[in-house]
Structure 1
Amino acid sequence: MVDLKSGRAGGMGEILDVEGPYEVAPLGTALVELSANRPEIVGLTADMGRFSDIHAFRDAHPDRFFNVGMAEADLLLIAAGLAKTGKIAYCTTYSVFVTRRALDFLVIACAHSKANVKILAGMSGLMNPYGATHQATDDIAVLRMIPDLAIIDPCDATELAQVVKAVADIEGTVYVRSLRGKVPVVFDPEEYSFEFGKAKELRSGSDVGVISTGFMTQRAFVASAAARERGLGAGVLHVPTIKPFDTEAVLRFAAGVDRLVIAENHQMSGGLATLVTEALYDAGLHVPMIKIGIQHRFHECGSQAYMEEKYGLDQGRITRAVIDGV
């Protein structure tokens, strides 16, 4: 397991200037490996082949790849149709287009029909400089209300590759907050194993506990290490599966710490922090909590580093919350 400093996301959600080990296009690599012996797998994109890393599958299996153009509703409708013929349809586009332009098709054609459609959605959260038109800061809040839809938020290249392979055997529709380009390697693939529906306690500590998801877990590790240097026991619970939510693991972890920090690349309302709050309330468990996430507002254009620092998603903010409790 490797602690890394955060990379800088580029114009199409690609992380630039990665410090430490990384993999290039783990989504495409994993999908090619999986599909070699799974002829029922097909790939689709809404004109986002290169910008979602599914182009490797396109090159390996051109007869099983479909580019529907800039038509996200068609993407999901065609995927659902292919699923009805026995295919497992992997779709790529941007998160914001799935949750706005194509939401009804996701709800009815995919989730309601329990169609084997796997949506690998790029640029979830505050992951690009293009402003509100491309920032899916509320995708989890929108999608977790839909029945029969699973939601996964991987941390790094290791977990993303494992998720790409795992979702083929998860019945029904799955939404994955994907990562692309140079994706940092945080987890050792020989040691870490993604388990659908399960949270992972990666570090123990009773003074403060960080509950995180997605690439924010990478920053939780850095903050945890800094806290330990100050003599604080800082635990980390990684929650890759948002839905179904591992309430039992969250309650067990929260009961063992004096205070909590929740870290997510999503609005603080409707996402991980809300799920944790609901779980604690229902169980009658009261633990002081600091929420690290995106404000409930539309965000302007700007560089990734600028936006994260301005809105409190950067490494410094998480480390202060863990060490100083503010």
Structure 2
Amino acid sequence: MSRETRPKGEYAISVALAGAVVLTALMLFTKWQPSGLKDVATSAEEFILTTTGIGSQVPDISGFEKLKTYRLGQYRAGLYRTSPAPLLFAAGRFVIYNPNNQPVFKLDTLEGSKDPWTTLYDFTGRLGLTAPGSHPRPSYTRNLTGNGVPDIVVGQYSGGDHCCTTASVIELGKDSVKLLGTLEGLDSLPFEGIEFRKLDKGSEWNILAQRRYSTMCGSYEDDADVLSVYAYSDGQYSDQTTRFSSFLDGILHQKLEQWAHVKKRTLQLLQTVAIQYAMLGQVEEAKQFFTTNLTEFLPYLQNKNVDAKACQEDLEVLLDQVPNASP
């Protein structure tokens, strides 16, 4: 039977046997030296990665189950999890392949044993996530940098409590794939903590990242919710919050409008407003605003067994350390 008419299952078995032959040859070549075994495993893995994709299918990886596949223009991508998966979570991989099914980019991930924790940002979805049965179809690529080249954003969750989400911006160039930047320490699951906006007149998109600033003033729900602005320059996305004083001033005024409504006042909002003042270089105003308004939360702090003086001192230390975007 010719290769052209051979059933796909038989062809896959032949590929696996060929892989075993290559692995055996590599091991004999290295004479089973311990220092060479890691290289053998890597070589065998790369062989499997580049040969077990059939047609336009995303390849399989030995020892991993394929959780999801993506079409990304000329590229394909696959999300994998080690198999069998342990009870709670397992190591995973996100791999991008070129049209020849060769791996050109890889991220090591952590996946839940029941559901995957890694996903791509859907620019037509809600908060970056695709709603089941939604229309239009998911859109995973967007030219974020303004250079005409599509980009994707990969969100990775590590399983931590109220933290530990990372977003990676990846450029899908015609001849190469490269990492443009990483946003770490984001709150909650992907992509609840990020938003895309154009804050300048240029064609580049900015990435707004929400993070919690923890202090001794209570629990997680009391932590300040602080905004960072990432911008693209010199081939990378990086935190350039201090460049956007006008935007930050607008955010401060929005928070102060919320504070003007007594029923909307919370300890979280109080800390957030204080930090927004400090980010604009108004550190003394920040301390005064916090000290003046902390009084109304004393019963709340006492009920939570929080020392009000320790709370105030801890926040003031943070206010002195916040990078400021003063004009």
The TM tier, using the shorter chain, reads under 0.3
Structure with greater Cα Rg: 2
Larger RCO (CA under 8 A, 6+ residues apart): 1
Structure with more of its chain in strand, by fraction: 2
